Structure 1
Amino acid sequence: MLSRAGTAMNDLTFTIRQETAADAEAIERLHERTFGPGRFARTAFRIREKVGHRIDLSFTARVGTLMVGSIWQCSITIGETPALFLGPVTIEPAFRGRGIGQELIRRSLEEATKLGHRLCVLVGDEPYYGKLGFKLIEKKRVTMQGPVDPARLLIYELEPGAFEGVAGVIRPDWNGIGVIG
């Protein structure tokens, strides 16, 4: 378990722990409150629904016993290269801006590195995720089936140089559960 205190202005102690099967209902309710029914139409959701998320790389954040955040990762390929797809990162609206999302991301990336993964992709805003080391992917180098703003397609190298020479379409990796790329 990992605990972090928030900023001096908003002191907050929260705990990060690996997701368990018992968390499923609370996470689904958190997703409903945060993203609403429109989440099912997003291209990123379409990829995740095909393979499910990896519970070994998914975490929750709690303030006391209240779940206030969640992060998922799932297995994908970029062309023929195995990778991870990060998201959604979901934070209860009243707890946003307190560092919980960043800590969930750090923890999930640390665990992915320990397990030998090399690349992680997400669809998000570069000003926020860039602070954590994500970089914008050059236009047309990597694509997704479905509408995605190329200015929001980001990559994180869990191993330096892992993205060199990688290009292609992002697809769900049905064989990637437990497979190290």
Structure 2
Amino acid sequence: MYTLHPETPDDWWEVENLYDTCFAPGRTALSSYRLREGVEPVRGLCVVARDADGILGAAIRYWPVMVGHWHCLLLGPIAVHPTAQGEGLGSALMRDTLERAREAGHERVILVGDEPYYSRFGFVRLNGVDMPPPTNPDRILGVALVDGAWDGVKGSVSRCETTEG
């Protein structure tokens, strides 16, 4: 049995180790990391899943970004430890944090990922939204937390220093 808890500063390196385990240390070379460097994650939306013994099973983080002049949340990374995969932790983190984001007044979330997996959480391919290269445009996905939040939103994704919705 796992429980979800907001990530604390004390969790940081353990979560980083989980991301290295799941994605390899070269993950920080991805273009999405340029959007995160030197920017604080959105604390209330970074969540960890721990078992009854306190062992970290999964983690998710969100970051503030801009698409054109619109504030957005960049979801990722999300990772489930190999020993905990298949237990629904990834889905639980997605559903929990998207609801937290909605309740906090955020309007839209963007990520880079596989549409067949993320579509079950409401994510769709975004046309007219450009991530820094070399991101495959077919993997740029978004979900509206408020009806119509992506209507007319176009432009390049860039760094953001605030967490406004």
Could you state the TM-score of these two structures normalised by the residue count of structure 1?
A: 0.87
Query: 1:83 is matched by which residue type in structure 2?
Result: C
Cα distance change of structure 1 residues 25 and 66 upon mapping to structure 2, 3 Å threshold: same
Query: 2:132 is matched by which residue type in structure 1?
Result: Q
The aligned runs of 1:6-155 (5 Å cut-off) are 13-64=1-52, 65-138=54-127, 141-155=128-142
Matched, 1:156 2:140: no
Contact 1:50/1:172, CA 8 A, preserved across alignment: no
The aligned runs of 1:160-175 (5 Å cut-off) are 160-174=147-161
CA distance in structure 1 between the aligned counterparts of 2:75 and 2:34, rounded to whole angstroms: 13
Query: Size of the alignment, in residue pairs?
Result: 164
CA RMSD of aligned residues (A): 1.1
Contact 2:131/2:140, CA 8 A, preserved across alignment: no
CA distance in structure 2 between the aligned counterparts of 1:124 and 1:107, rounded to whole angstroms: 19
Query: 1:47 is matched by which residue type in structure 2?
Result: L
Structure 1: gaps (5+ residues) = 1-12
CA distance in structure 2 between the aligned counterparts of 1:128 and 1:152, rounded to whole angstroms: 11
Higher mean C-alpha deviation, range 156-165 or range 50-59: 50-59
| Per-residue Cα deviation, 1:51-102 (whole angstroms, up to 9, x for no partner) | 1311111100112211010000000110000010000001101211221011
Once superposed, which parts of structure 1, at least 4 consecutive aligned residues long, lie more than 2 Å away? Answer: none
CA distance in structure 2 between the aligned counterparts of 1:108 and 1:100, rounded to whole angstroms: 12
Query: 1:21 is matched by which residue type in structure 2?
Result: P
Aligned-partner SS, 1:51: coil
CA distance in structure 2 between the aligned counterparts of 1:45 and 1:97, rounded to whole angstroms: 27
Q: Percent identity among equivalent residues?
A: 35
CA distance in structure 2 between the aligned counterparts of 1:97 and 1:129, rounded to whole angstroms: 16
Could you state the TM-score of these two structures normalised by the residue count of structure 2?
A: 0.95
Higher mean C-alpha deviation, range 31-40 or range 85-94: 31-40
